[in-house]
Amino acid sequence: MVNFNYCNPARIIFGKDTERELPGQIEKYGHKVLLHYGGGSIKKTGLYDKIVGILNEAGIPFVELGGVQPNPRLSLVYKGIELCRKEDVDFILAVGGGSTIDSAKAIAIGVPYDGDVWDFFDNKLVPHVTLPVASVLTIPAAGSESSDGSVITNDTLNLKHPASSEEMIPKFTIMNPENTFSLPPYQTACGATDIMAHLMERYFTTVGHVDVTDRLIEGTFRTMLYNTPKVLRNPNDYDARAEVMWAGTVAHNNLFQMGRIPDWGSHNIEHELSAIYDIAHGAGLAIVFPAWMKYVYKTDIKRFVQYAVRMFDVDLSFADDEEIALEGIRRLESFSKSIGMPTRLSDIGIGDERIDEMAEKAVMYGPLGNFKPLYKEDVAAILRLAL
């Protein structure tokens, strides 16, 4: 295990009707709220009316900004910053998924900053001063509800970059599994894929003696293998939705990363895909991750054998370690297909035209990943394996 220093201050308020706790929590941090949301799903489900009713009843003033798109855009972040300054907003409540929460976090670091908020996403500065942010989560996926990061798409430059700092962790998150019943199957599956990818990015480490976190990751991964098909069969299965929702948070609140060096190569490659083709992050990961695995498994074949055996019960009677490792990768791909995810770029109509451009952009700040550092030619080779 490598040394670590762990603190995740995000309060998680979990269960039915927990939106009722909003006023008591908000009053700890601010006086005037920006209510930030996406393309309208919360209006269709009635969650918007419920939250507005709760804020009005408690006499909490708010202004609102909807319209966050999946792969949240910098242009809307600029609008949010302007609105918060004009209206003296001192607290941001994101109601939605990773895109809305990430957009809220970006607005929150932009308001107190005199320069261009993109500086934080362009590796120039680390944000330390921010308005407080909280969320009401509607899709278990990105883990942004308790993560220290935000990923924003610069819609002028076609770049999608992360920024992170401990100060960006939301103060609290309301997680009511009932708010996820309305998710369409595709979004459910994209979310599940992202959760499982967050687990795998941490699982594939070269650090030894990480048994506690190995076992936590394996248990959560297997929970996803079991419960994802259940929620797809019955979207209103509260218990299964609750398992997936909690899995999404623990997969990305960094607890499972402690003592380990995570990889993150697949995520960074996926960000290039969603920056250019505007695909869902989870769908991109279902394509990139197996290709990454096929490219790197020989770096530490024993870890891939452990993955195959412990995650997918691959039988040790396979001919040799290589066969076991490859069977683990095959089973991941068949699971992805079984939940309706693409596993090849060709499944979503993407060819090799822009592979070199994506590879070049992916390494603009240096090589990617830690399990096996990836240079431009490696990234291009992985994307070709994904064709």
Report yes or no: 81 and 74 within 8 Å, Cβ to Cβ.
no
In our burial notation (b when 16+ CB lie closer than 10 A, e otherwise), range 288-298 reads bbbbbbbbbbe
Residue 263 touches Zn ion, criterion: CB under 5 A: no
Q: 3-class SS at 153?
A: strand
In whole angstroms, the minimum distance from the beta carbon of 140 to ligand NZQ comes to 8
Residue 100 touches ligand NZQ, criterion: CB under 6 A: yes
Which distant-in-sequence residues (6+ apart) come within 8 Å of 241 by Cβ? 140, 177, 178, 180, 181, 231, 235
Per DSSP (E only), the strands in the chain are 11-14, 33-37, 62-65, 91-96, 133-137, 149-154, 159-164, 172-175
Residue 272 touches Zn ion, criterion: CB under 5 A: no
- In whole angstroms, give the CA distance from residue 134 to residue 146: 9
Q: How many CA atoms lie within 13 A of 325 on its CB side?
A: 17
Contact region for ligand NZQ (CB under 6 A) — 24-32, 97-105, 127-135, 308-316?
97-105
Contact region for Zn ion (CB under 5 A) — 129-137, 172-180, 189-197, 325-333?
189-197
Report yes or no: 371 and 263 within 8 Å, Cβ to Cβ.
yes
- In whole angstroms, give the CA distance from residue 12 to residue 349: 39
| Residue reference for tokens 């609102």 | 64
Among 30, 110, 127, 143, binds ligand NZQ (CB under 6 A): 143
Residue 173 touches ligand NZQ, criterion: CB under 6 A: no
Partner whose footprint covers residue 40, from Zn ion, ligand NZQ, none (CB < 5 to 8 Å by kind): ligand NZQ
- Looking only at residues 32 through 91 of this chain, which bind ligand NZQ when binding is defined by CB under 6 A? 38-42, 45, 70-71
Nearest residue to 83 (alpha-carbon basis) of 95, 59, 67, 99: 67
How many residues line the site for Zn ion (CB under 5 A)?
A: 1
| Residue reference for tokens 């899709």 | 139
Residue 141 touches ligand NZQ, criterion: CB under 6 A: yes
Handedness of CA 270, 271, 275, 278 (dihedral sign): positive
> How many residues comprise the chain?
387
In whole angstroms, the minimum distance from the beta carbon of 92 to Zn ion comes to 22
Residue 170 touches ligand NZQ, criterion: CB under 6 A: no
In whole angstroms, the minimum distance from the beta carbon of 357 to ligand NZQ comes to 19
Q: Draw the binding track, 256-295, toward ligand NZQ (x: CB under 6 A; -: no contact).
A: -----------x-------------xx-------------
Residue 201 touches Zn ion, criterion: CB under 5 A: no
Residue 248 touches ligand NZQ, criterion: CB under 6 A: no
Residue 194 touches Zn ion, criterion: CB under 5 A: yes
Q: Which is nearer to Zn ion, 194 or 272 (CB)?
A: 194
Binding site for ligand NZQ (CB under 6 A): 38-42, 45, 70-71, 96-100, 102, 138-139, 141-144, 147, 149-151, 179-180, 182-183, 187, 190-191, 194, 252, 267, 281-282
Binding site for Zn ion (CB under 5 A): 194
